[in-house]
Structure 1
Amino acid sequence: MNPEEFAAALRDKNVILDDKQLTQYQTYYDHLVSVNEHMNLTAITDRDDVYLKHFYDSLTLAWAYPKLQTDQLRMIDVGAGAGFPSLPLKIAFPQLKITIIDALNKRIKFLQELVTELGLEDVTVVHARAEEFGHKKAPNREQFDVATARALARLNVLGELTLPLVKVGGALLAMKGSAASEELNEAQGAITKLGGKIGQEVPVNLPNGDPRTIIIIDKVSATPNRYPRKPGDPARKPL
C-alpha cells in the first residue's frame, strides 16, 4: 500500500487527508526507519508495509469505534512502542487528546522526538508502567474516555492494565487477530471484576484481506481499588 493507495483507502471510508496530514505520515515513516537502524522499534520497514500494517491497521480502530473520528476523546495508549495505534489516529483525527505510556525509556525518547517532528499538539508521552499509572491513588485513574493497546498482552492481562484508567462510560478497544474469541472467553471473569462489560467483537479486514478483530469492552462500573495489582503481577498471575 503506497501513500496514494493509503489516501484512497481512507477516502473510501470518508476520511479525507489534506497535504499536511499526508506529509506527517511520510515524516513518521522516515523517522521510524531512520531510528530503527539503531533501535529495535519494528520488524516492518518497507514503506508499503508500514503504510498498510502500521498506519492503516492503527486506523481500523476508528472504523470499529466511530466516535474516534469526531469527538474530542481523551485516549490512552498503553505500551505504544513506536506509537501505534495512537499516533496514526492523531494525525488523521487531530481533535483526539492522546496520552502514551511505555515502560522503556528509549522508546519514550523516540516518541517525544517524533511528536515534536510531526508538530502534534495534545499528545503527552510518559515513562511509566501501567500498573503504577492506574494505581488507586494515581491522578490518572479513571480519567480516560478510551484506552487501547496493540500486541501488548492477552486480554485477561490487558484488562487489568487498562480498565483502571478508563472512566465509567468509556471503553477499552483491544486490537486482536482473527482468533480473538478464544481470548475473550478466557477473559470474561477478569473483565467483570475490573468493572467492564463485553460490548462488541468488530471484525475488520485490511485492504489486502488480512483479518483483524477489535474487541470493545465497555466500562460500566468503577474498578475496585485493589486493581491493578503491583507491577508484574497481572502478567505473572492473570485474573
Structure 2
Amino acid sequence: MEHDELQFEKSLQSLAAEFSISIHDSSVSYFWRYLSELKKWNRAINLTAIDDDREILVKHFIDSIYGLKVIDINSEIELLDVGAGAGFPALPLKFVRPQLSVELLEPSEKKGAFLRYVVGSLGLQDVTVATAKLEDYAGRGNVQGRFDYIVVRAFKVDQFGVALSTLLKPDGKLVLYRAEKVPRSFELVGLALIKEVEYELPARYGHRVLSVYSKALR
C-alpha cells in the first residue's frame, strides 16, 4: 500500500504514540526521505524483503524506535549498530534522538554505500559507517571500550560475545532485537542477560523482544 507524505507522517506519529514515544515534527521528514531512498536502492541491492510502505513503517521504523524503552539517550551517548544492513535500528533511533552519536558497522560494501549515501543525503551529523567484519572491527584499538550501547537486529551474534564485550564501556549495554525470548541454552561469553522486554507490533505484525545484556562480572 503506497502512502503519500502526509498520510505517512500521520501514520508514523500515531503508531509511535501507541507506544508512548513522541517524534518531533522536525524528525518526521527524515523517515519519509529514508523510506524513499530505501525503496529506490532496494531495486538494485537487497536491503529488505518488505516493499509495502505500512509494513516497512511498522516492522522496521516502529520496531527500531521501540528500543528507546531500554536505551537511555542523552547528549553523551555513543551507539554501535552491528550488522547495520539498511540502517535498522540505528537510523530511526537517530532520527528520533538527534543528539545520539552512531556508528553503523556493516560488512557488505554495497550496503555500506547505501548507508553512506543516506547519511550524506539526509545531512545527518555524528553518524559514521564502517565496512568491516565484527571480529576485525573489534580488534581496532580506537573502538575498544567506546560504546554505551550496541544494538543488533537480524544478525547472529552467538559466537561474538567477547568481541561485543570488548567494544562496550564498563557500564555499557548490548540490546538484541529478537522475535522471541532468549532460550536458556543461549550464551554470550563475557556478557550477562539482565532483562527482556516483550511487546506486540501494531496491526498484528508480530511479537518482538528486546534482550538486554551487560558486561558479566569477573
TM norm structure 2: 0.89
Find runs of 4+ consecutive structure 1 residues off by over 6 angstroms. Answer: none
Question: How much has 1:114 moved relative to structure 2?
Answer: 0.2
Moved more, 98-107 or 70-79: 70-79
2:192 is matched with which residue: 170, 194, 197? 197
Question: How much has 1:108 moved relative to structure 2?
Answer: 0.8
Q: Do residues 84 (structure 1) and 85 (structure 2) align? A: no
Matching residue of 1:213? 209
Matching residue of 2:154? 151
Aligned equivalents of 1:47 and 1:3: distance in 2?
12
Question: How much has 1:66 moved relative to structure 2?
Answer: 4.2
Question: How much has 1:132 moved relative to structure 2?
Answer: 1.1
Aligned equivalents of 1:163 and 1:3: distance in 2?
38
Q: Which amino acid aligns with 2:127?
A: V
Q: Which amino acid aligns with 1:152?
A: F
1:204-226, Cα deviation, whole Å (9 max, x unpaired): 2211242111110012458xxxx
Q: Which amino acid aligns with 1:139?
A: N
2:12 is matched with which residue: 6, 31, 39? 6
Matching residue of 2:136? 132
Aligned equivalents of 2:162 and 2:59: distance in 1?
27
More helix by share: 1
Q: 1:147–1:163: 8 Å Cα contact kept in structure 2?
A: no
Matching residue of 2:72? 67
Aligned equivalents of 1:71 and 1:12: distance in 2?
26
Question: How much has 1:73 moved relative to structure 2?
Answer: 1.2
1:54 is matched with which residue: 60, 68, 85? 60
Q: 2:19–2:66: 8 Å Cα contact kept in structure 1?
A: no
Q: Which amino acid aligns with 1:202?
A: V
Aligned equivalents of 1:75 and 1:156: distance in 2?
20
Q: Do residues 19 (structure 1) and 25 (structure 2) align? A: yes
Moved more, 41-50 or 83-92: 41-50
- 5+ residue gaps, structure 1, are 223-239
Aligned equivalents of 1:76 and 1:221: distance in 2?
22
- 5+ residue gaps, structure 2, are none
Question: How much has 1:187 moved relative to structure 2?
Answer: 2.6
